[in-house]
Amino acid sequence: MLTRLAVALALLFPLPAVAAPILLRPAQVFDGIDPAPHPGWQVLVDGERIVAVGPALTLPAGGKAIDLPGATLMPGMIEGHGHLFLHPYNETPWDDQVLHESLALRTARAVAQARATVMAGFTSERDLGTEGAGYADVGLRDAIAQGIVPGPRMVVATRAIVARGAYGPKGFEPGLAVPQGAEEVSGVDEMVRAARSQIAAGADVVKLYADYHYQRGEPSRPTLTEAEMAAAVAVAHDAGRPVAVHAVTAEGMRRAIAAGVDTIEHGDEGTPELFRAMHDKAIAFCPTLAAGDAMAHYRGWDGKAPQPAMVAQSIHAFHLAMVAGTPICMGGDVGVFAHGTNAREMEQMQAAGMAPAHVLIAATSGNARFFGLSDRLGSVRVGLLADLIAVPGDPTRDVSAVRQVIMVMKGGTLIKAPE
């Protein structure tokens, strides 16, 4: 009687299936920390975590082996500067995306773009603003975390914060209420209120615009004061959130550094002194070379010399940062160009003079460290989450190899299996 009852209960309430251990056997492992790959290493995954790393591991009883001949196994990459609610500007200009695309359309597109991102081997992303799509990134982050839709682990900034009158869209009758691509503030009190509101709504990171252009055709100028940014930093840090700052001008960067922010994005007018100050304060630099490259191509550049001024300036700033030893994150401002082609930034970094292995470190353990994820992600170490990818050949010699991801594992689950 008890046996029959147990069988009946098992049929009604089956226990969840226990995933078998997986032994990954590539040609070599790039662990995300050591620039040199480890030939002959293998990785054992049990459940959602890495449980063993090294040569000649034993496959547990009931486990499954996946052979990856000729491939490099490495940590899932981390996109450091993305906008999943944007799509390439040569498809639809930014203004039209903000003003004329419905929230439902933008969210549906973001879901598809999240899938493209993770299938390209980017298992995590710091998404730095919905650009007019409100707090929809919080819902997307949670839907991915709950397994409703596929995508990268997301660190989100929600609306971003700008000085009143300094962002866009622009070109309308003065005084007319026009939807904006970020939340406008003026003064310390409004900054504090906005930062707290965004954190309460689900922001993992606070994004500020230290500078921008007030009118079309004008150069970028500082917009937020040092006091306004320092107030946002105090609120964010009290809440355990980092602060990322769009800063193109030297003065915008100076104010951001003095305010104690955590990362600076773009930094086109950075000087040796500013990058040394960032080094001294451990403020990471996210150069977004691919965004400028993409915009130049949209405007007709064929990719050959001479470089447009905007491209040359961003590369020069990148060189200055490397010389100063500034911590460098990998983030391309993807959304300006197509999601799923995130590796474009890594190729630009290599072309600008960074060694391929160090580009890979920036995209894995470096970004994990800058974004407070090192205890879970970014390297191939026992105890960390099994976010792992495999690529053909050796990406430490040429990062273009990461364009051809043959396996993606996220939290021990195969999202893309090798053929």
pLDDT digits (tens, 9 = 90+) for 165-204: 999 999 899 889 899 999 999 999 999 999 999 999 999 9
Q: Give the domain-ending residue among 285, 320, 341.
A: 341
Q: Are residues 409 and 288 in the same domain?
A: no
> Residue 356 contacts by C-beta under 8 Å, 6 or more apart in sequence?
350, 395, 396, 397, 398, 399
* E-strand stretches of 252-381: 263-266, 284-286
Q: What is the pTM (predicted TM-score) of this model?
A: 0.95
Same domain, 54 and 122: no
Residue 362: inside a domain: no
* 222 beta partners: 211
| Residue 372 resides in a domain | no
Q: Is residue 371 part of a domain?
A: no
173 and 257 part of one domain: yes
* Residue 133 and residue 41 share a domain: no
Domain assignment present for 368: no
Same domain, 284 and 301: yes
Q: How confident is the model over 139-170, as pLDDT tens digits?
A: 999 999 999 999 999 999 999 999 999 999 99
> Based on the domain organization, do 90 and 187 belong to the same domain?
yes
Judged against a pLDDT cut of 70, whether residue 16 lies above it is answered with no
**Claim to verify: residue 52 and residue 121 sit in the same structural domain:** no
Q: State residue 154's pLDDT score.
A: 98
Name the pLDDT band for 8 (thresholds 50, 70, 90). Answer: very low
Residues 47 and 110 in one domain: no
Q: 245, 208 in Cβ contact below 8 A?
A: yes
Identify whether residues 68 and 209 lie together within a single domain.
no
- Band (pLDDT 50/70/90 cuts) for residue 4 is low
50 and 147 share a domain?
no
Residues 230 and 155 in one domain: yes
How far is the C-alpha of 124 from the C-alpha of 135, rounded, in Å? 19
One domain for residues 238 and 150: yes
80: phi then psi, degrees, rounded to nearest 5: -90, -15
CATH number of residue 169's parent domain? 3.20.20.140
Give the CATH number, domain containing residue 57.
2.30.40.10
Range of the domain at 56: 18-75+379-416
The structural domain count of the chain equals: 2
Are the C-beta atoms of 342 and 334 separated by less than 8 Å? Answer: yes
Residue at which a domain ends, from 341, 367, 398: 341
